[in-house]
Amino acid sequence: MCNLYAMTKNREAVRQFARAMHDQTGNQPPLPAIYPDQMAPVARIDRSGERVIEAMRWGFPSPLTSREKVTTNARRLESPWWRPWLKPEFRCLVPATSFCEYQDGSKVPTWFALGPDRPLSAFAGIWRPVTAARGTKAERQALSDLTGSEVQEHLVFALVTTEPNELVRPVHAKAMPVILTGDDCDTWLEADTPIALQLQHPFAADRMAIVATGKRQDGAA
């Protein structure tokens, strides 16, 4: 289960990769370690039909039966919990340069990318609005000071996962994120749901590499 990834390319590289018309992320710095409940750039199609990049918070609300505060990954997409958010208007691309899985048993951080130069790719994602108190204690306090309440509307996202490929499985046998490049990015954003869901499969292991171990961030540009 991916709960840590990096996105270290600059805003223009991300905009070109996503073929976005608008970038609303402001002065987005490199992000060598993105954890659950943090903000990160996400590309989606807005109501006008244009692709936009904006900052969203990582983690859907969890089902009442879950012990987790937020749910970062979606795998069983047939579940009624995910089904409303699989329509094209709620699918998104989550730009990334690498992701981390912890070695089963030893918990050693292991970073995977599409090569040592960490080329941009995207995770298949879904997004939704949610009204809740989210973020760090400092962020919630700042909202409360500004608006009188910690409860605000947030845009949140989750990563779609699948079974691991031959490279990831020896490290983490449970799952890996769905990785998209090229035309698959367009399919995920635009295609009818049954077609888009055909992309829920492991990325080719021979197109990936282990690029770092033992570190809790991946700052290579």
- Residue among 96, 101, 97, 95 nearest 213 (CA): 101
Is 77 within a domain? yes
Is 221 within a domain? no
Return the amino acid letter for 33. A
pLDDT value at position 221? 46
pLDDT value at position 142? 73
The number of domains in the chain is 1
pLDDT value at position 209? 97
Q: Which residues pair with 121 in a beta bridge?
A: 96
Sequence-ordered list of residues with C-beta below 8 angstroms from that of 167, at least 6 positions apart, any chain: 112, 205, 208, 209, 210
Is 205 within a domain? yes
What range does the domain containing 74 cover? 5-213
- Residue among 125, 126, 120, 210 nearest 166 (CA): 210
CATH of the domain at 171: 3.90.1680.10
pLDDT value at position 220? 54
Beta carbons of 37 and 59 less than 8 angstroms apart: yes
Mean pLDDT, contiguous 10-residue spans, the chain (221 residues): 90 93 87 95 95 96 79 93 95 98 89 96 96 72 71 89 97 96 97 98 98 88 46
Is 220 within a domain? no
Is 25 within a domain? yes
Interval 60-77: pLDDT, tens: 988 777 777 889 999 999
Is 219 within a domain? no
pLDDT value at position 68? 76
Number of Cβ within a 10 Å radius of residue 16: 11
Is 149 within a domain? yes
Interval 141-162: pLDDT, tens: 777 667 777 777 789 999 999 9
Is 218 within a domain? no
CA atoms within 13 A on the CB side of 134: 24
